[in-house]
Amino acid sequence: MAGLKVILFFLAELVMASAYMNYSNQCESISNDTIKVIQGEALRLHCPNFDCANVKNNSKIFWFKKENAKIQPIMMKENERVHYHGGILYFLPLNLNDTGLYITQWWYDVAQCDEFVTEVVVYEKFHPNQLYPILSEQIHILPYECPVWQNTGENITWYKDFRLIPEKTDVIIQIYLLSKDANGIYTCVCTWEHHGQVYNSSGSRYIQRKKEIEVPFRPTFQYPINNSVDFVDLGSDVKLDCRVFLGINIRESKGVYWMRNNSRLDCSNRMDNLSVRSTLTITQVSMKDLENEYCCVAISHYQWALVCITLRPRESLLPVAAVFSGMFLFILLAVGMVKWVTVDLVLIIRSFRIMQFKRNDGKLYDAYVIYQKDNPDEKTGRKAAYFVNEVLPAVLENSCGFKLYIQGRDDLPGEDCTELIERKMRQSRRLIAVLPPGFNHHGFTTSLCYDWHVGLHHVLVEQDMGVILIQLEDMKEYSHLPLGLQHLLQKTSPFRWDESSGKATCPTSCFWKQVRYKMPVPPDSSSCGVDF
C-alpha cells in the first residue's frame, strides 16, 4: 500500500512538472496581482479566482514560479517550506528569495484552463510600499475587517501605528474617525497553526478621514545604501540622490539635506510619492571632491539619521585599451616578421647540416620534374624546355646540390615509359610541376601527359610527396587546366619565374629561395656554394 502511494505521488508530481510546458499555450491569462509581505511571516496565497481558491482537487490546480525566464514547478510535499494544497500556496515562512512571479493554472475542464500571475515582493522589514491602499472616509464609525483573515480559527491582534491596541481581538475593528487620533496605520496580525507549527501573517493599511493629517515615522532611507561607494568620472557633473520616507502626508522636505565635512551643502528637495528626495549636484568633479564622505541627513519628529557614501574615480579604460592595442600590434608585427623571415631562417638552419637524418628515406631523387612537352605555341614550348633542361639543373643541381629527375634527360632509350615514370616518381621526394601556359582560344583545354596524371595522383590521393608549382608566364585564370590541377592550385599557390629579371638564375633571389624552401633538406652543404 505504501509503495502504491509513492507511485501515485510521483505520477502527480510528474504531471505537474509537465503541465506548464505542454498546455500553457491553451490557458487563458486572466489577471495579474501583486502581494507585498515581510520576511519571517507566513503567507497563504489563494488562487485569485474565488471558485479556483476553493478547489481541493490537486489534479486541477498547478503552481509554478517564474525565475530568470525559467518556469519551475512547485511541489505538494508537506515537508517543503513552499508547497501547495489545491488552490492555496503556502510559504512557511517567507524569505527574501521568495520574491518573484507565481503562476496558477486552474484546469476547470479537460482541455481548458485559466492562468493567473501573482507577483510576491518580500521585504526584510516593514516598508511603506506594503501598505494596502489608503482608506479615506467621512463617516463617523468605520468597520474595518482584518485583510489577512481567512476564517481558519486564527487569533487576531490589532496595532495602530505599530502600537498594540489592547483588548481588540475581533476580525472587525470599529474605528471612530471623529477622534483626533483616529488617523494612522492599522495593522492586523493573524496567528494560525499549520500541522502543529504556529505562524503569523499581517496586513497594514493607512486609514484617515478625508481631511489629511500627518503621521510621522522614524526616517527610513530607500537609497543610497550606507557606506556604499559611487564611481564618478573626473571633470564631469555628478548628481547624488537621497530618498527618505518620513511618514504619512509629510509635505515638509527641509528635514532632508546633504553634508560634507560637517558642513551643510546646497541641494534641491522635492516630494516623491510618500518620500522626500534630496539631490546634490557636483559640477566638474575634482580630486578634492573625493577627499571626504558625503552624508545624507534626515530629521523627523522621532529622531534624526544619516547615511554616508564615498566617491571614487572610475578607472579609465584608455590605459587598458592602449596596453591591449600595443600587445595586439606587437603580435601582428611579430607574426609578420616571422612570416617574412621564415624562408631565410629555414634555409640558414639547413646550412648547419643538423637535419641530414631526414634524407635517410631510401629515395634517390630530391624532385621529379614534369612539364608539358607538346605546346601549341612553339615559343612557349622552347621557353619551358629551356627552363627545365637548363635553368633548373644549373641552380638546383649545380649550385645547391639537389638531384633532379628530368624525363628525356635521365631515362634510357627503350625503357618501358609507363613503368619507368611510376618507379622514378616513387623514388622522388618532391614533384616540380611547370604549369602549361594559357591561350586565347575559347574553350581550349590543355590535355596532360601520363606523367602529370601519375604526379597528381601521388600528390592529391596518396599524399606521399610535396609539390612545387612554377609558372613561366602570367595567367589570369586556370580554366584551361584539367580539374585535378585546378583543385591543386586552390591549395598551393604557384611561384612565378621572371626570365627578364637580373636574378633569374641567382639561387639567393626571392623566387629561388621559395623553391629551395619547398625542396627537401639538401645534401651536405659543403657541396652547395650558396651564400645565405
| Cα 419 to Cα 412: distance, rounded to the nearest angstrom | 13
Query: pTM (2 decimals)?
Result: 0.41
Report the relative pairing of strands 428-434 and 466-471 from DSSP bridges: parallel
| Cα 530 to Cα 525: distance, rounded to the nearest angstrom | 9
| Cα 433 to Cα 192: distance, rounded to the nearest angstrom | 95
Q: What is the CATH number of domain 352-527?
A: 3.40.50.10140
- Before 224, cis peptide (omega within 30)? yes
Half-sphere exposure of 442 (CA within 13 A, CB side): 0
**Residue 18: CB atoms within 10 Å:** 12
Query: Is 439 in contact with 473 (CB distance < 8 Å)?
Result: no
| Cα 458 to Cα 447: distance, rounded to the nearest angstrom | 19
CA distances from 262 to 291, 293, 303, 422 (A): 13, 10, 18, 98
Spatial CA neighbour of 244 closest among 216, 204, 286, 206: 216
For 52, the enclosing helix (H) or strand (E) is helix 50-53
Given this model, what pLDDT does residue 251 score? Answer: 67
Query: Is 281 in contact with 238 (CB distance < 8 Å)?
Result: yes
Spatial CA neighbour of 192 closest among 37, 42, 36: 42
Half-sphere exposure of 440 (CA within 13 A, CB side): 0
| Cα 421 to Cα 425: distance, rounded to the nearest angstrom | 6
Low-confidence ranges of the chain (pLDDT < 70): 1-26, 57-59, 136-139, 210-214, 250-251, 253, 316, 353-359, 376, 438-447, 524-532
Q: What is the CATH number of domain 2-123?
A: 2.60.40.10
Given this model, what pLDDT does residue 215 score? Answer: 72
Helix intervals (H) in 364-500 = 378-386, 392, 417-426, 450-456, 483-491
Q: Write down the CATH superfamily of domain 216-313.
A: Immunoglobulins (2.60.40.10)
CA distances from 326 to 318, 319, 321, 333, 335 (A): 12, 10, 8, 10, 14
Q: What is the CATH number of domain 131-213?
A: 2.60.40.10
